[in-house]
Amino acid sequence: MKVLNIDVSNLKLLETTESKEIYDLENGYILKKYINVNERILNIYRKKLILAKDISIKNLISPEFLYEENGKINGSIEKKITGTSYANYLRAKRKRNEQITLEDVGSFYIKKHDIIMDANKEDINFPDGSYNNFFIDENENIYAIDYDGMQIKGITSREFNEFVFNGNNRFLFRNEKYIDEGLINYNMDIYMMGIEFLFLTTKLDPISYRLKNIDDFKDFLDYVNFPNTELRKKLELLYNSNEDNRYFKDELEDFIKKYTLTTDRKGVPRIFIKK
């Protein structure tokens, strides 16, 4: 992969995060420069950046060039995606007092499924794959954007305990059965999608209920009137099983054809009803 040494002093700074500065290259690309990252984590990032040359997955935005600073790789250059995170997309709809429908949320997770299923086949997982890290453009295409947080061919950016207990992602599952030799396997991706789907449709966060077992989880689904469907069976499977085939795209597509949600009212949970 080509390594570029670029003077960032005259570039437009688009965004600063805890660990990155993002600059506009004005040619359809952006530069991501690491800041405040210790050498141990930087070395892991560098390994993953080098692996990017082998990655070609539709709607997964990965680096196309490496950025060098002071003789060391310290970032990457990738295509610029116009749009917003799905989290901000939903916030904007609420601000406009628009109803968020089951079809809205369901269609997002159907598209997200496609990206994650393709990525899993290439040994890429999304330990931090929340809806904050998936972009939606003006044509409602979905893109995975957080390359740093992905686990790629066995290389993850942080130790598992850092992911689980740092408090940055409420959807991470605190259960050792999802761990394979200290790494987060793809079951985490699918579990997270299921929990997010319930959170965004009902406005209730299953994680905050501290559900201890499958019976507690079933009680939660009963509380939101989740019907006895193939989708429910898959969601229950997510909570209490080690089976590998737990993608629920087909079941979700069928579900949103037959069910809808009660009207969104402030402070009131939403429940599922038949159309």
Q: Is 232 helix (H, G, I), strand (E, B) or coil?
A: helix
User: Which domain, by its residues, includes 157?
Assistant: 84-274
* Residues 230 and 129 grouped into a single domain: yes
* Residues 102 and 228 grouped into a single domain: yes
Q: How far apart are CA 84 and CA 262, in angstroms?
A: 27
Q: How many domains does the chain have?
A: 2
* Residues 30 and 100 grouped into a single domain: no
Whole-prediction pTM value? 0.81
Q: How far apart are CA 268 and CA 270, in angstroms?
A: 6
For residue 169, the one-letter residue type is: N
Q: How far apart are CA 60 and CA 142, in angstroms?
A: 9
* Residues 153 and 222 grouped into a single domain: yes
In DSSP terms, which residues pair with 151 in a beta bridge?
A: 125
Burial environment of residue 269 by CB neighbours within 10 A (0 to 12, 13 to 18, 19 or more): middle
Q: What is the CATH number of the domain that holds 265?
A: 1.10.510.10
* Residues 89 and 67 grouped into a single domain: no
* Residues 232 and 135 grouped into a single domain: yes
pLDDT at 56 > cutoff 80 = no
Model confidence pLDDT, tens digit, residues 119-156: 888 888 776 677 888 899 888 899 988 766 677 776 66
pLDDT at 111 > cutoff 90 = yes
Structure tokens belonging to residue 2: 């080509």
Identify the weakest region by mean pLDDT among 32-36, 46-50, 97-101, 134-138: 46-50
Alpha-carbon torsion, ordered 80, 171, 123, 119, to 10 deg: -40
pLDDT band, very low/low/confident/very high, at 274 (cuts 50, 70, 90): very high
